[in-house]
Every structure is written in C-alpha cells, then in structure tokens.
Amino acid sequence: MSEYLPGLAGVPATKSNISDIDGENGVLYYRGYPIEQLAEHSSFEETTLLLLDGELPTADELEEFDQQLRKDRWVKYHIEELMKALPSTGHPMDMLQTAAASLAMFYPGNECLTGKDVCDDLNYVHNMTVKIIARMGTIVAMWEHLRNGYEPPAPRADLNYAENFLYMLNREEPDPLLARIMDVCLILHAEHTINASTFSTLVTGSTLASPYSVIAAAIGTLSGPLHGGANQRVLEMLNEIGSPDKAEAYVEQKLANKQVIWGMGHREYKTKDPRATILQGLVNELMAARGDAVNPLMDIALAVEKAAESRLAHKGVYANVDFYSGILYNEMGIPADQFTAIFAMARTAGWLAHWREQLGDNRIFRPTQVYTGEPPRDYVPIDRR
C-alpha cells in the first residue's frame, strides 16, 4: 500500500529551476539570485522577466518587455461591466478570481492548447503571459473604485507597474517612496517554489486548461487564510490585541488553546522568513520618512513577534512574509481586504513561470489515494433495507 503523507508534506511533485529555498538559513533564491539582492537592485518588471526566461535581461530585452506590459494594461469595457454587476460587498479575491476567469471570454487564444505536443510556441506562451500579468494590477485597482460606486481611472503608459497600480488605486500621482516600496513588495511576493497555489497552477495547467483558468484556480487557492489570506488576518489580530502590553497574554492564550498566531511560522523556514525581514525594514524606512512617527500597530507587532519567538523559536517558528506585509500596506492606506489581491497580482508572475515550465514537459497530474472505505459489497434493494 502506498504511504500516505497528509498534505503531501515533503513529497516532490515536480522538477523546477525557477526558485529555491534554504529553510535552515532563511534564504530565498529566484533563479539563483538571493531575494535581498533583487529587492535592493531589481524591479518587478525585471524580476518577472527573470522568472519567466531564466536569466537577467539585457537593457533592450527589459525595455521591450516593459513596453509590452504597459501596452496591455487596458481591459475591454465588458470586463468593467461584469465587475459592476458583482456585489460591492464581495471580497476582492472573489472578484479577482471571477474577472481572471472571464478574461478567456474576451481575449481568446487557446488554439495552442490542443494536444500532447503543444505549446512549444514560446511566442504564444510569452504573449499570453504578458497580457495576464499586465491586466492583473489594472483589475485589482479598478475594483477599489467600482465597489464604491465610481468609475476607475484609465491606466497610464508613462508609469511603471508599481507606479501605475498606485495611481489607479488612489487616483493621484504616487509618492516616489511609496512606489518603490510597492515595487519591492511585488518582487517579494512574485514567487516561492511549490506552495499550494503554485501546485494548483501545475495541476490545472497539466490538463491544458487555458492560462486564464490556470490563474483563476491559483487565485482561489491563494485566497484561503492558511495561504495568502493570512496577511489580512494579521492586521485583524493586531487590532484585536490593541496595545503592546497585551501581546504576551494574547500569545499565551493562543498557544494554550492550540490556535493560530497569524503571520508566525512557515513550513519551509526554520528561521525568520527573509521576506519578513525586508518588509520590516521597509516599514521602518517609511516611518522614518514620516518623521519617525511610529505606527501603533508596529509596536504591537514587535511585541507579538518577541513573545512568540521566546516561546516558539526552539521549534523553528518565526515571523513569515504575511506578518509585516499587512502593516506596511495599512500604512500605505490600502484597505485590508485588498492585501491578498495585491499578493495575487504579484504572484501571477511566478504562477505563469511555472505554467510555462509545466507545458515544457507536460504530464497530467493523477495522484493515487489510500482507500479507507467499505469492502466490496452487494447492492440491497430499498424494500429490504
């Protein structure tokens, strides 16, 4: 009988050369480059092209890719009309999954996905990838206006990805520091090996479903609080605690009741998530730029992290990427329920890199199971039961 490992823990599901994690030392690599170097020196556009193609682009290659992204930011008015018909109280992730799936209706292009020896046309894969990534930021920003009853602003081709997103979200020219911080956040969230949503990408892609369906499936997976939805829960947790002096008792109570402390722990890391360290630095940088004004939530977060670390460090449980991203987005004036949608628009880069890799050597996923049901038996007519 096959060995059953809950959640496929530690079971290799694929081969990939896109990203890697050194969990013992808390290091994340994109195509061999440490995330700290990319966060400091790269851009979301360059990092995306690195993930897709495997190498840092030349200046001409990056310029061409950037221009493609800028050209494809607009969405047809049908998409906007569909979004207007959605309940304004709906969660942005539910909207995003709906809108992403609907793109296939208005931007068809699945003629390559027809059989076993398909999609060796890299132009097809590249073009579909660019169109999806370009429109994800537009859709997320549009929703903030549509759900409040306003027409969203049109995208601007004179701004980079992060700048355009903030412009569309806030309807004003973005502050350069906030735009750079957003760019770094997009880099940090772009890829992270075979997590739940990326595995969903592989499974859906292996059936030769359209890339829109692939992304819609990944968005649905990311929406759960045990995956991307945790960053919103962190903010809710900090507001619930209320003040730093209550953090220790809160952590004690959660541990005693065997409940989750949101933003703490990661299956891959046995030390602090390197993305959390970078995000914490960005919060401090933003606070310093605002005259060393301290966000009350930051003080609570530091107290929670200290209390949790003193009790859980011996188990390898430290702050993960979700712990500080919510605080940072909150300080940038972004609504809490949009946090995970921003995560999704960044992670689309990694998802589509894995989609491309999957198509390069495709085999449909068909795992087995350990059957725990009844032994073979005969049907009993209803009048004899």
Provide the annotated active-site residues: 266, 322
Alpha carbons 275 and 39: distance in angstroms, whole number: 9
Half-sphere exposure of 348 (CA within 13 A, CB side): 29
3-state helix/strand/coil string of the chain: CCCCCHHHCCCCCCCCCCEEEECCCCEEEECCEEHHHHHHHCCHHHHHHHHHHCCCCCHHHHHHHHHHHHHCCCCCHHHHHHHHCCCCCCCHHHHHHHHHHHHHHHCCCCCCCCCCCCCCCHHHHHHHHHHHHHHHHHHHHHHHHHCCCCCCCCCCCCCCHHHHHHHHHHCCCCCHHHHHHHHHHHHHHCCCCCCHHHHHHHHHHHCCCCHHHHHHHHHHHHCCCCCCCHHHHHHHHHHHHCCHHHHHHHHHHHHHCCCCCCCECCCCCCCCCHHHHHHHHHHHHHHHHCCCCCCHHHHHHHHHHHHHHHHHHHHCCCECHHHHHHHHHHHCCCCHHHHHHHHHHHHHHHHHHHHHHHHHCCCCCCCCCCCCCCCCCCCCCHHHC
- CB contact at 8 A, 176 and 270: no
Alpha carbons 45 and 48: distance in angstroms, whole number: 5
- CB contact at 8 A, 231 and 263: yes
- CB contact at 8 A, 160 and 312: no
- CB contact at 8 A, 303 and 248: yes
